[in-house]
Chain A
Amino acid sequence: MEPDVSIETSSMIRAAVLPIGTIPTPLFRDYASMLNRHQTVSLSSISSFYTEHQKSPFAHQPWDAGSLRFKFMLGGSPPSPWEDFQSNRKILAVIGICHCPSSPDLGSVAQQFSNACKGYSSSLVQRCFAFCPGDSQLEDESHKGSNLVLFPPADRQTQEFHLQTMVQDIAASLLMEFEKWALQAESGGTILKTPLDSQASLSSEEVIKAKKRRLGRAQKTIGDYCLLAGSPVDANAHYSTALELARLTGDFFWYAGAMEGSVCALLIDRMGQKDAVLEEEVKYRYNSVILHYRKSFIQENAQRVSPLSFELEATLKLARFLCRRELSKDVVELLTAAADGAKSLIDASDRLILYVEIARLFGALGYHRKAAFFSRQVAQLYLQQDNKFAAISAMQVLAMTTKAYRVQSRSSIEHNISDDAGPTHTDGGKMHHHSIVSLFESQWSTLQMVVLREILLSAVRAGDPLAAWSAAARLLRSYYPLITPAGQNGLASALANSAERLPSGTRSADPALPFIRLHSFPLHSSQMDIIRRDTAREDWWAGAAPSGPFIYTPFSKGESNHSSKQELIWVAGEPVQVLVELANPCGFELMVDSIYLSVYSGNFDAFPITVNLPPNSSKVITLSGIPTKEGPISIPGCIVHCFGVISEHCFKDVDNLLIGAAQGLVLSDPFRSCGSVKLKNLSFPPISVVPPLPLLVSHVVGGDGAIILYEGEIRDVWIRLANAGTVPVEQAHISLSGKNQDSVMSVAYETLKSALPLKPGGEVTMPVTLKAWQLGLMDPDTAAGKQVKDGSSPMLFLHYSGPMANSGDLQNESAPPPGRRLVIPLNVCVLQGLSFVKARMLSMEIPAHVDGTYPKLVQVESGDVEEVDGLEKQTDRFMKIDPYRGSWGLRFLELELSNPTDIVFETSVSVDVENSNSNKRPSDFKCGEFSYPKTRIDRDYTARVLIPLEHFKLPVLDGSFLVKGSQMNGTTSGRSSSFSERNSMAEPNASIKNLISRIKVRWQSGRNSSGELNIKDAIQAALQTSVMDVLLPDPLTFGFRLAKSSVDHTKKLDSPKNSDVQDNSPLSRGSIIAHDMTPMEVLVRNNTKEMIRISLSITCRDVAGENCIEGDKATVLWEGVLSAITLKVPPLQEIKHSFSLYFLIPGEYTMLAAAVIDDANEVLRARARTNSSDEPIFCRGPPFHVRVNGTA
């Protein structure tokens, strides 16, 4: 059988193309390909070379439209025993190709050519084409007379033209030879035989039979020559005669041959035009051809020769003719029938050709599985021949089946990968089920394994170690679950053996083991967060989420489009790490010689590492590298050097595999079978590399451990920042985050600012003042001291960035390099400290003595509430005369504190004093604070701390209390006084707050700890009820004194300083004697800004509390008016009312003054806490003691 046969084959003139002399194979192929372009030579083009010597037997030669067809047989072919039967099997021409530069002696070339031609006795024309002759060769005459044709050196086009001419010449010569032959044959005399004809001496009967048949056979052969000569009409005429004769003589074989020829003539005549009628005709005639070939089967010589191959060839020819999708059913039937014939073929190579042709035809029909099946049959036939070339052929044929069996080598589908890399990447791993299934289409694992095993076997035999390696790798990687451990070991050694025969550094497109998937990106330390910079804003970090290690953030989850997928930013020059997981699901130990990230963008240096994977194990490893240049980076997978060969492992493939495993489409999940946990499929996010950024590294001076503080403790923490990057820090901004932010009292931002730009390697130390927060009452657990990791500590966010753009960059074009965020957690561990138990007000009033001095001095105008007689008794500092009441009073806030800790606390109370008149006499006052003796509280003890409430009194009770208040707290000012209830009540609250904020209870423990108690709420609660008394003066102040010093006193009012000194001396005090008229004065002072009309009355009581002025038993006589004294007191003024008393009995008396205010205004009502406007407002002065000396 012959390969590549078709119906038209019968019309082709075979020409052997032989290399003559020494000629490099590529050159020979090149020349032959030039020749191959002239397979069809039109009759019209050869007419100039053609000479009609005698009348042509081809009467109907179509000179205008017809052509001769050549079939160039490279390297020639052995003569066929069937060439009498089918003339197209004869080699009718021999063309030699000689390359002159390598064959200098043309004479010997001519000799060699004529020797070569001797093998082709059937050849009618011989030519030897000698290309590129040298000058000397052109002049060489020695080959004259031979068939050598020199092609003068010229350009390719000219050469081709020459060649065309020469082929036309050959065609013309052949045509003339055919004519000669046809004329000769017609005259009779040629004996045509086939191997089918009995070789034994013919019996007489057979001789007669043969003679009868001879004529028909001759006609058939002439028909063949007519076809070769390009004259189908003539051919048809001869074939018709031949058919008739063959039918009559029962020469079925030749009958079939003539029929085949007639079909060919028919097709040539139609010049390739096909229609349904023609197809039917061809089908009909060929079925007859096949039938007659079958009939010609002769049992007796079936062992030696059989017409079967002709039958099968005819079948294939018809199949090829019909080979169209619409006629697939017919073609399949023909091919199935042909395949059935295979086992009856005697010659193995015939079977090979048959299967090859069947496979090709199925392939052409689009039946790839059928084609693959027969290709595999071909490969098996090759493999039965035990030689290297057959093995190579087997390997190549099997390689063609891999597509149908879906076991392609990656190298053969490289373009497909790049095609579908795009969409799957954008899919972000969200593939539809349908497309997942399609990934695993046609996975007939049994078949795939068989095919791969055969490829491996043939590659080993063919001595192609790379193909063997690749097949073994595919087999092991895809089908390890189906392979026994012994088989796995065998494959591993096959890999190793193949690798030994490969040069080191060989790459294979197909990965073997291990399986590699992307595990995760290690958490960026929060020290390295990268923040996109928004150039439009001053606070460029605002609004940008930290690039962070998290690819999916809950915030971006809602957005459907994948553009929201976080981009990963790497910094040039800073090492990065990627975690990948390797799995070795096989039963042998796997040595990965090196593995590193594969990057094509050329801006990444990957660091290889070596890994050893025990049998059935998985391992998460860290692959690292350094981005070198800015730009995008894509990392499709890893480059692995394993089993002696380098291959690339794509993450996507494993991802698909895992999806398939999850869907039950793949045999096994290699990671799960190694005991690894299931991971969410992670695909590589787009990565971009930015130019180098500064990198600040922080640490807390004195250790990065938790800072242990007691509640309220205040401490400075020093944070050292160092620039570990290669770019200076030019901008920096600190913000607070996290819980308990107010515990950071101050951050020395200025220190940082002044250190900018911080050069690479530069350092700056920055103090941060912390104040420990109160432990909540809710969490007694944390109070017990185990609150290190509850995240309640505040964090400092330090946003910083380098220069805006690198020099030379177009600032407008590219986004500025991003900034960074450094998170400095302030690990504060708060321990319970002093705890507050309760607070309460203590107050006490001690009456003053009536003597020559007026007990108080008030600078009303200056608003000064400073105690002026504080010098009087140093030992009794807390005993103060209330300047407004005129009595001695004590008012304390008592705090009860307990110390549950195991250290000792010392508390001290201080009061900030804001001097509203400090501008006036600053030197006289202790500006800032008052401090009081410290109180020590031992462990497990409770102690009380007294806070004197003084310095808080307002000087004037009036409607412009608002104005006064604003002076004190400095926040509200300029508001006109309105007397609405609301405002007058709101204002005290502000004042209370102000008051409370000035009281500070500090504590100290040991040498280093100090802090402040947070007791504001407690104080406020304690003061709430009596705040009026604490803060506000009474509207009227009453005072008594002896009248004799009244003149002096009026002077003293103007110069209080002098009076202090003089009046406070005890010597100046006068004494009262019984039985003496004692002139006295009552002083009434108006503390408001309105005129007050009062009705004043004065009483005197003895020690028993009896009124001793009125009644029957009055012991004190008096002169003047003592009751219902109507007075008008001007605002902020005092008036005096004089009277005299005469004490009858020495002893202790108490003077009391009281007044009823007429027409009280709202301020007074508010102060008196009355609501009704009718109610009289009664003011009572404090009692004054009078000691009366003398004898009764």
Chain B
Amino acid sequence: MGSTACFVMVSKNDIPIYEAEVGIVPKKEDAAHQHQFILHAALDIVQDLAWTTSAMFLKAIDRFNDLVVSVYVTAVLCASFFQEVHELYIKTLLNPLYLPGSRITSSHFDTKVRALARKYL
């Protein structure tokens, strides 16, 4: 599969507030959906696991076929990639016009996340 990856930020209430296909974007649209489906399903595990460990970074908590799910749980939301994105997210949260829990539509955020993905992944 190469270095294909999908990055999704999920707010509480299970709303995806940011999604990006990073790395080599899969050619087939199906596969892209598959990534999200796996991430969505992994939330069940994250939800349970987050309570049992104090670690923020949960590496490879779930997998399906060749796809492995790693999660970075923040107080409100590789390791360095997640950390930097977390910082970005905090900056976004500080924006008074951003309502916590709603979709992140900032193109700046998107550009930064993709740049970080190229750097680390």
Contacts and interface: CB of A to CB of B under 8 A. Distances in A.
A367 B45 contact: yes
Given A369-B41, A405-B40, A441-B15, 9 more contacts: A329-B49, A373-B40, A374-B41, A441-B13, A444-B16, A663-B99, A664-B103, A665-B15, A665-B101
Given A369-B40, A369-B41, A369-B44, A447 B33 contact: yes
A664 B102 contact: yes
A535 to B, nearest CB: 52
A376 B15 contact: no
Contacts of B44: 362, 366-370
Contacts of B38: 373
Nearest to B65: A343
Interface string B31-45: 001001110111111
A440 interface: yes
A372 interface: yes
Nearest to B13: A441
B120 to A, nearest CB: 24
B101 to A, nearest CB: 5
Nearest to B11: A437
B30 to A, nearest CB: 8
A248 interface: no
A336 interface: yes
Interface in A947-999: none
5 contacts: A373-B41, A405-B40, A443-B16, A444-B16, A450-B37
A158 B44 CA distance: 50
B19 interface: yes
A367 B33 CA distance: 20
A442 B48 contact: no
A369 B19 contact: no
A328 B48 contact: yes
B64 A437 contact: no
B62 A336 contact: yes
A364 to B, nearest CB: 13
Contacts of B43: 369
Interface in A341-395: 343, 362, 366-370, 372-374, 376
A445 B48 CA distance: 24
Nearest to B14: A442
A329 B51 CA distance: 12
Nearest to B35: A446
B112 interface: no
A336 B48 contact: no
Q: Which of A438, A450, A663 has the most CB of B within 10 A?
A: A450
Nearest to B46: A369
Contact of A444 (B40, B63, B102): B40
Interface residues of B, number: 27
Contacts, number: 73
B48 to A, nearest CB: 6
A339 interface: yes
Interface of A: 328-329, 332, 336, 339-340, 343, 362, 366-370, 372-374, 376, 405, 437-438, 440-447, 450, 663-665
- Which 5 residue pairs across A and B have the least CB separation, nearest first? A664-B102, A373-B41, A367-B44, A442-B14, A441-B13
A665 B17 CA distance: 9
Nearest to B32: A446
Contacts of B16: 443-445
A14 to B, nearest CB: 34
Given A437-B101, A441-B14, A664-B103, A447 B65 contact: no
B29 to A, nearest CB: 9
A448 to B, nearest CB: 10
B105 to A, nearest CB: 8
A521 B18 CA distance: 41
Contacts of A332: 45, 62
Contacts of B49: 329
Interface of B: 13-16, 19, 33, 36-38, 40-45, 48-49, 52, 62-65, 99, 101-103, 105
Contacts of A444: 16, 36, 40
Contacts of A440: 13, 15
B36 A442 contact: no
A437 B13 contact: yes
A446 B36 contact: yes
Nearest to A662: B99
A655 B108 CA distance: 32
Which residue among B15, B41, B52 has the maximum number of chain A CB atoms within 10 Å of its CB?
B41
- The interface centre, meaning the residue of A376, A437, A438 with most chain B CB atoms within 10 A of its CB, is A437
B13 A370 contact: no
Contact of B33 (A366, A370, A437, A446): A446
Nearest to A434: B13
A437 B10 CA distance: 13
Q: Which of B19, B52, B99 has the most CB of A within 10 A?
A: B99
Contacts of A336: 62-63
B14 A447 contact: no
Nearest to A368: B44
Contacts of A343: 65
Nearest to B16: A444
A1098 to B, nearest CB: 104
Contacts of A367: 41, 44-45
B37 A373 contact: yes
B42 to A, nearest CB: 8
B41 A370 contact: yes
B13 A438 contact: yes
A1041 to B, nearest CB: 106
A904 to B, nearest CB: 71
Contacts of A450: 33, 37
Contacts of B36: 444, 446-447
B14 A370 contact: no
Contacts of B52: 329
Contacts of B64: 339, 373
A104 B77 CA distance: 72
A329 B44 CA distance: 11
B22 to A, nearest CB: 15
Nearest to B102: A664
Contacts of A405: 40
Contacts of A663: 99, 101-102
A376 B38 CA distance: 11
Contacts of B41: 367, 369-370, 372-374
Contacts of B37: 373, 376, 447, 450
A378 to B, nearest CB: 13
Nearest to A332: B45
Contacts of B40: 369, 373, 405, 444, 447
B47 to A, nearest CB: 9
A339 B40 CA distance: 17
A447 B8 CA distance: 13
Nearest to B38: A373
Contacts of B65: 340, 343
Nearest to B34: A450
A475 B112 CA distance: 32
A443 B16 CA distance: 7
A775 B8 CA distance: 73
A843 B64 CA distance: 118
Contacts of A374: 41
Contacts of B45: 332, 367, 370
Contacts of B42: 369
B89 to A, nearest CB: 16
A444 B49 CA distance: 21
B15 A443 contact: yes
Contacts of B102: 663-665
A951 B69 CA distance: 112
A437 B13 CA distance: 7
Contacts of B63: 336, 340
A438 B37 CA distance: 21
A670 B36 CA distance: 26
B65 to A, nearest CB: 7
B6 to A, nearest CB: 10
Contacts of B103: 664-665
A1067 to B, nearest CB: 111
